[in-house]
Each structure stands twice: as structure tokens, then as C-alpha cells.
Amino acid sequence: MVVGVHPTAVVHPDAVLHEGVEIGPYAVVEKGVEIGEGTTIGAHAVIHQGTTLGRECTVGPHAVLGGDPQHMEYRGVPTFLRIGNGNVLREFVSIHRSFREGEATVVGNNNYIMAYAHIGHDCQIGNGVIITSFAGISGHVVIEDNAVIGGQVGVHQFVRVGTMAMLGGNSAFNKDIPPYTLASGRPGRIYGLNVVGLRRQGISPQVRSALSKALRLLYRSGLNTSEALRRIPQEVAPYPEVLHFVEFIRGSKRGICPWVGRKASDGES
């Protein structure tokens, strides 16, 4: 097994390093950590006990992965951080383990997490997510696939961010952000459909049009949320994306961000 460990790095003998792992100067890898094939750990990074890193990840200098949860009632019980494959975690990124005994904070595959971003305990991050520099993701947050979190965004604990949602920089969110939407502000508001993001993900014009109609029924029709959720399945083609939009909102416990839109129609697709 070919592993490159810089002579100044501190790697516990019980850590598991797979083929092609590179550990940079002064990095620390604690007992029981497992690092997948081809993953690179930058200088001065710290990988704490309870952390599993997948294949072909890049961990930047001074990143701290698997630190204790920032919770005043945490008493040192064994918890975990599980990070998937193909992730880029830039310099000074911090991600904490779960607060609950035996449970894990989870980061999926192919995410790009920029410098100084923080992900708190018990978060569940999907695949293809971009989290921009200095964003703060509080505990128990769920971020679905292909969402984009802008720079210096704050996300309150237990908030959910829907798939392909895009959150504008310097915003703060204390309610759920529905899938496929654009959101911004302090507190966060919905501004329309994430048309550019949907196009980039290969979502067809027909599906974009259906999502636009669902968004209008929810926010621009004068209906309350319950009535809008009843009407959308009756009036909008049942594409999987539309069904997910409806089920996400039905599953909201914190409520969804309100609308503060442009004067122009949100119906472009």
C-alpha cells in the first residue's frame, strides 16, 4: 500500500489510510479515523476520532473535521462524521460530529465547501452541494442535492434547504427553503424559480414550466399553503420534481420562507 505521510504529520497507528492517501505537513489524524483511496489532507489539518473520509477527497490546510459538537449538553459520548467521495473541503473548513450518541453528521459526495465554511453537528448534506466561504450551517440542518449556499449565509438550526435551491450571499434563513427556488434576504425570502440552476442540471422546459406554475399557486395566487398544496397536484403535471416540491413543503416543521418577488412574472422557464 502506497501512502505518503509527511514526516512532521502525526498519524495515530490505529488510523486506516487507504491506497494513495497523502498527509501534509503538521497534519493530525486521530485514532480510528479512516481515509479513502486517493484523498489528500493539507498542512495543519486535523481529522478527529470518529471521522470517515471517502475516496478522492481534498482537504485544505487548517481544516478541522470531526470536532466535538458545539452543544452545551454534549458529554463526550461516541459520535461520528461520515464524509463521502469526491468532496473538496477548502482551507479552515470545520465540520462537527453528531451530538447524539452513536449517530453521525453526514456529508454526501462531490460537494464543494469553500474556505472558512462551517457545518454544525447532525447536519445532513446531500450530493453536489456548493457552500461558499464563511457560510455558517447550524446543527440539524438538511441540505438536499445540488443546492448552492452563498457566501456569509447563516442557516438556523433544523432548517431544510431543498434541492437546487440557491441562497443569495449575506442572507439569514430561519425557515425552510423550497426546492428549485431562489432565496435571499435577512430574514430570507423567496424571489422566484432557480431557472439558471434548473437549466444547468438538464431539467427540461416542460418540467421548468410545471414548477413555475406550482410556484405561482403557492405564492402568487392568494391561496393559503394548505389550499395551494391541494390544488397543485390537481392543476400541475405530476413530474417527479413537482411531487418533490409538494412533499417538501408538506414535510416542513418550521414553515417555509415567504415570498418577496420581483414585479416581473416568475413564470419564465
For CATH 1.20.1180.10, the residue range(s) in the chain are 198-250
In the chain, which segments carry CATH 2.160.10.10? Answer: 4-140
Q: Does domain 198-250 have CATH number 1.10.3720.10?
A: no
Determine the pLDDT at residue 260.
83
Report the catalytic residues.
121-122, 139
Residues 6+ apart with CB under 8 A from 65: 45, 46, 47, 48, 51, 53, 59, 81, 83, 89, 93, 94, 95
Residue 253, CA distances (Å) to 9, 57, 64, 185, 186 in order: 45, 34, 31, 21, 20
pLDDT for the residue 225: 95
Predicted confidence pLDDT, tens digits, the chain (269 residues): 568 999 999 999 999 999 999 999 999 999 999 999 999 999 999 999 999 999 999 999 999 999 999 999 999 999 999 999 999 999 999 999 999 999 999 999 999 999 999 999 999 999 999 999 999 999 999 999 999 999 999 999 999 999 999 999 999 999 999 999 999 999 999 999 999 999 999 999 999 999 999 999 999 999 999 999 999 999 999 999 999 999 999 999 999 999 985 443 444 44
pLDDT value, residue 3: 81
- State residue 262's pLDDT score: 45
Question: How much is the pTM?
Answer: 0.95
CATH no., domain 4-140: 2.160.10.10
